[in-house]
Amino acid sequence: MTYRYRVATVFLAGFFIDCINIFMSAIALPDISRQLQVSESSVAWVANSYILGLTLIIPLSAWIASHWGARLTMMVSMVVFSAGALFTGLSSEFSGLITFRFIQGIGGGLLIPVGQALTFGLFGKDERARISTLVMAVALIAPAISPAAGGAIVDHLSWRWVFLCNIPFSLVTAGLAMCWIKSEKTRAQRPDIAGLLLVSLALTALLLGMSLYASAASALLPLSLLAIGLLFAVLYVRHYRRKATPILDLSVLGNPRMRFSVLVYYAVPGIFTGVNLLNIFFLQQVLGWGASETGMLMMLYAGGSFCAMTLCGRLYNRVGAARLFLLGLCCHAAGIAMLALVSAQLSLPLLTLAYLLMGIGGGIGANTAQTTAMIDFEGEQLARASTIWNLNRQMSFSVGAALFTLLFNLLQQHTTSTAAYHRAFLIAAVLGVLPLLQLMSLKTPSESLCDQKER
């Protein structure tokens, strides 16, 4: 195996572990909620605290790698991840579980941006569609097997083993990084600590505000947190404009392909994360499904995604990103809308078709976004774009879960639980096609290359 494929293997292994960690833990949330006696909105912090750990460390990853080297950075990443998973699984209180999930996020957040920048830097632009297909294949396999496996673990063992079972995979990845990655160091500027603090405070306040809004005795606290989050976001934008080397280089969002791909990630994986979380609670608490049965639905999603990604890898350079985005977003939204028709009398056929459509649409949309987002960047700018992209990818999962948990809780105050779930799914379907309003601003890859030659 050549060096660049060894690097890609370590990166993809870390990415696989990250995806497993997100989708497998979602299946366990109803059991965690019952056993630790926390609400549905509060239990979403099992994911949110992990995202906050990622948020803190992802912008620092390039600087850490410049001092430690890629090999040590990627190896330590998986060791910290393993320690976080161990203590999360052993936690007896919800506060401890959330703390160790935060530590686990710090571990996971180191490997992925460093590994992605290193991998994409070793492959030319004409080869990145192939690598993006491999990335999305991992993003397909992990959701396919982890919910079903997680459901079986929850039903036959305990939700704790959902976290503990990650440890062997992360330790093997740490060993591969030690053996396969070269120890050379890159050059990176001193990190922007003030910017990092503003970004972390903004995200923390926004997620806290959304998760507390529906269950708070008064709306004053959650609304204040949302306002504070927006204030910190505005302060970061001002800080970014004055800072020569900001922690997050927002200039990469000036690229229309990156900007549109970011929107698509919120509309597809982000919305799907929230919708799937609601559907897990709906099936287990309203329709009485078991965790194993619920997890098996992701096999259908994976089947649709596999077909879609196979198609994308062959058609991307022929038909262009715009047409693929149109097809993907429409299929994904149609699948979500079908969930609004699921009832005790008619569940399995509709769920089968819904998850197949969401898988096809999600596979097309996410794979196309992964390729399109990075297609215009090289060298140091690629590393900055990779940081933005990976932070956005993780934030989309957390924002999607928090937003739709909030939406469901608000709807539930005015109607039955079943009707609240169904209305939330319909709203999600509408939100999922909103990026199409900006589709005309997207150029094809060939037009992008022509622009670069002219410059």
CA–CA distance, 102 with 213 (Å, rounded to integer): 22
pLDDT given for residue 450 in this prediction: 40
Q: Does the global pTM surpass 0.75?
A: no
Would you say residue 449 has pLDDT above 50?
A: no
Do 389 and 374 contact (CB within 8 A), yes or no?
A: yes
The share of the chain scoring above pLDDT 70, in percent, equals: 89
Would you say residue 173 has pLDDT above 50?
A: yes
Closest residue by Cα to residue 116 from 18, 249, 199: 18
Would you say residue 443 has pLDDT above 60?
A: no
As a whole number, mean pLDDT of residues 421-446 equals 82
Higher per-residue pLDDT: 249 or 9: 9
pLDDT in tens, 60-106: 777 788 778 888 888 999 999 999 999 999 998 888 998 999 999 88
Higher per-residue pLDDT: 444 or 315: 315
pLDDT given for residue 186 in this prediction: 61
CA of residue 407 relative to chain centroid, distance: 20
Would you say residue 314 has pLDDT above 80?
A: no
CA–CA distance, 444 with 315 (Å, rounded to integer): 13
